[in-house]
Amino acid sequence: MLQPTRCHHSTKIPIETCCFCSSGPTKLLDLCFKFINNNLDSISQYCGYSGYLKLKDGICLPVEICEKLLAVHSHSLCNIDSNFINIFKDTKNTRLKRVCIKNSNIFDHDLEVLLSHHLLELELIQNNKLTHNAIKHFNNYGSSLISLSIGEDVNFFPFTLFESMEYWQRSYILNTPNLRRFTLKSCRSMTSDFFKVLLQPMINLTHLDLSNCGTFGSNFSCAEHLVNLRSLILFNVSRIHSMVPAICRLENLTHLDISQTKEENQKFPEPTATMTCLVNSLSHLVSLDISGTNLAGTGVAETDKALKCDIPGLISRVNNPLNFLGLYETLHDACLRHDIPAKLIAGNGNEEQVLISAMAYMDRTEVLQKVLNELFHLFRFGSCQFVGQALNVLLEAMTKHQHERQIQITGSATLFYIVKGTDRELHDAIHVKRQIISTLLNGMSVHRNDDTMMRNGCLTLCQFKIPVDVLFEYERLVDVLLYSVHGIGSESFVQRIGIYLLNSLACQVDGQQKVRLGELGAINKMIWLISERLEHGYCDDVLEVAWSTMWNVTDETPSNCRKFLENSGMEYFLSCLRSFPDKDDLLRNMMGLLGNVAEVKELRRYLIIPKYLSVFSDLLESNRDGIEVSYNAAGVISHIASDGPDAWNVEEPSRQSVLNRMTKAIESWNLNATRNINYRSVEPILHLVKVYHTPECQRWAVWAVANLTRVYPDKYCNLLEREGGLELLQEVLNHPDPPADIKQLAALVIENCWKYKNHEWRQELDG
């Protein structure tokens, strides 16, 4: 039983503005990888000697499968550790060429396993377990590497190591002769000599990223030999103004990023002259980022004003505009100027600039956070034209930066406004909805102790159809919601909305999912909430919904009914009854739950206790909340009495006296009364129709279906017929034992169903 800016050379963003077309179901391949990731024993087994996983004998995985498995494992918040990496130790039956390891706990020997595959590309992001011993593995296996990225918090270059003569004598640090792309971020403790030795052998580099690194010396001489460079990123590098002459000599550059967020590095002594020198020297330049600097000048043209260029240093590019120009938070609000010789501009002047900024700075946490704040304000206080693109940006940002609290909070808040404002478009976009829900749950799982993140996540989830839209992530959602109820501070908004979402899930999922709810701890958490309210002596909506949730989660689910009893549920029932005797909704919810317990034959003996029976008997005469309390009390007693006189093994109250009171109560009920109840099945009621040895049980059951088919014929006439109820009621009419009033009710039910069916038949004729 359930309870119920204008740019002179601007172009539109070169990506589709709406992603809602991805409305198909999840790809079979993605489902397979998800299954394997959740069941690694399907392809691996534990090694006896090491305790790590290893690939099962007879399995051979191609490079596409291995790389996809690594990516799925990383994105699913699973820990990439030695145990998982050991699966790829078998280089004959596993293949890796391109690997990205983020937020992992891998050690030097794990890196050796990966490098032994002779990788082409390797990206290491946020790992503090590697030591200087990792360098020897690079030197043993690094000859095949074409791309190497060493991110923040990955530092296996200890300063003291380079005080020795070893690296000077051999003239290299990393033996990676074929490297084309090299990224080294936030390596600030090294001297200019270190960078000179590090970069000296990398003569084939075409892309170099030294973001947040230092110190390179006064002239950037460590890179002057890199004549093949096409892309150079020196984001947040100190003393960048002194490196301009050396940069200008790298004539093959097509992309240059010298953007800054640190105030001490933002101002160049002669901004327009510097900008002019860079642009004129680097004739192949198509992409330039000067965000956060003063290189755009004050906006007043210093040369030929007829060319209409509001950035003086770019006047030579008026007729040959840049493909991309980074002006985000540039001094003197350069992104707000009119005539800018660039096709795409990253800035904060309008929606298009903000979205371009988000894509350009996706890997820069500090800048991305500011950009996402701009995007949030667009949705909250205005309108967004490129909703699909904004959604793509948010999902990518939240996926890439799951451990960044502020990005998750801002992202989830923006998702709330997107989902709330695009309901129709999302209605059929199953794949998109699932991406949003999974991304939210990832953030909520990582930041489950953060009240703001949990609030944002729950409010956004409330915009979806529960449970239909969330069933694919059912267990993860339940886990997060149960934690919000139990693990976050009492009386919080998160606790309230979490329990409401749980109740919605419990009310609308099927039996097996209800069982799983119980296994995941729903009953225990609700009992905890109830005990806490009792301890403080107050009754609120949380207390009522806690009982409602247990009412729903025990519906036709014996295992959860047993959990209720095992967790002292009956004692909490009595305590709530004593403490809050005038709370009708609370009493109705509690009695509805006990009705579910009473339906389970093997559990009824736990209810045949004098103090419980006396309470049930007294509640028969209750007229609060209409007939609901009295009706539910009679249902509980009917199920108990259906086991016969011998099962009623207490003297007081006597069985017959309770049954007499129940008969009197039923006679007082209005057969036309509307109900606050929702049966998924009437089988438990029909079971009582067959109890001829105790007509009082029959009387309650037949009255119940008479009321339901009379007041709600659309639902219950069909349900009754489908479950064989009409045949049982006909048997009652033909049986000699039932009293006349019971037979009269049975006949009324049959008549109700005939009238309903006849009415439908006439409608078909009229049609």
Taking only the tens place, the pLDDT of each residue in 632-661 is 999 999 999 999 999 999 989 999 999 999
Q: Which residue has the tokens 């996983």?
A: 53
Provide the pairing of β-strand 147-150 with 121-125: parallel
Lowest mean pLDDT among 4-13, 405-414, 609-618, 623-632: 4-13
Closest by CA position to 208, among listed 268, 168, 150, 157: 150
Q: Using an 8 Å Cβ cutoff, are 118 and 141 in contact? A: yes
Model confidence at 19, pLDDT cuts 50, 70, 90, reads: very low
Taking only the tens place, the pLDDT of each residue in 534-565 is 988 888 889 999 999 999 999 999 999 999 99
Q: Using an 8 Å Cβ cutoff, are 745 and 703 in contact? A: yes
CA distance 557 to 522: 13
- The rounded Cα 89 to chain-centroid distance in angstroms is 32
CA distance 298 to 271: 10
Q: 3-class SS at 286?
A: coil
CA distance 24 to 431: 6
The pLDDT of residue 60 is above 50: yes
Which spans in 282-386 are helix H?
A: 351-360, 365-381
Lowest mean pLDDT among 182-191, 385-394, 748-757: 182-191
Closest by CA position to 245, among listed 214, 213, 282, 210: 282
Provide the pairing of β-strand 121-125 with 181-184: unpaired
* Total-model pTM: 0.85
CA distance 499 to 504: 9
End-to-end CA, the chain: 36
Taking only the tens place, the pLDDT of each residue in 251-268 is 999 999 999 998 877 889
Whole-number CA gyration radius for the chain = 35
A 10 A CB-CB count for 381 gives 8
Closest by CA position to 751, among listed 729, 766, 732, 735: 729
Q: 3-class SS at 38?
A: helix
Taking only the tens place, the pLDDT of each residue in 576-607 is 999 998 888 899 999 999 999 999 999 999 99
**Element of type H or E holding 461:** helix 451-461
Q: What is the DSSP string of 419-458?
A: HHH-HHHHHS-HHHHHHHHHHHHHHHHHTTT-HHHHHHHH
Q: Which residues pair with 46 in a beta bridge?
A: 53
Lowest mean pLDDT among 198-202, 244-248, 391-395, 418-422: 418-422
Model confidence at 426, pLDDT cuts 50, 70, 90, reads: low
CA distance 678 to 716: 10
Retrieve residue 409's tokens. 């909070």
Domains of the chain: 385-673 (1.25.10.10)
Q: Which residue has the tokens 């359930």?
A: 2
State residue 31's pLDDT score. Answer: 85
Supply the DSSP symbol for 25: P
Within a 13 Å sphere around the CA of 155, how many CA atoms are in the beta-carbon half? 13
In the chain, the percentage of residues whose pLDDT exceeds 70 is 91
CA distance 19 to 426: 10
Q: Which residue has the tokens 């078909």?
A: 764
The pLDDT of residue 7 is above 70: no
State residue 669's pLDDT score. Answer: 94
Mean pLDDT taken over the chain: 88
Closest by CA position to 644, among listed 682, 601, 603: 601
Model confidence at 118, pLDDT cuts 50, 70, 90, reads: very high
Q: Using an 8 Å Cβ cutoff, are 174 and 136 in contact? A: no
Residue with the larger pLDDT of the pair 629 and 427:
629
324 phi/psi in degrees, rounded to 5: -145, 140
Please, what's the largest Cα pairwise distance for the chain? 111
The pLDDT of residue 2 is above 60: no
State residue 12's pLDDT score. Answer: 36
What are the angstrom distances between the C-alpha of 635 and each of 572, 599, 606, 698? 20, 9, 16, 11
Q: Does the CA dihedral 419-422-427-432 come out positive or negative?
A: negative
State residue 221's pLDDT score. Answer: 87
The pLDDT of residue 42 is above 80: yes
Q: Which residues pair with 476 in a beta bridge?
A: none
The pLDDT of residue 496 is above 50: yes
**Those residues with Cβ within 8 angstroms of residue 512's Cβ, 6 or more apart along the chain or in another chain:** none
Q: Which residue has the tokens 């990223």?
A: 209
The pLDDT of residue 622 is above 90: no
Q: Using an 8 Å Cβ cutoff, are 513 and 476 in contact? A: no
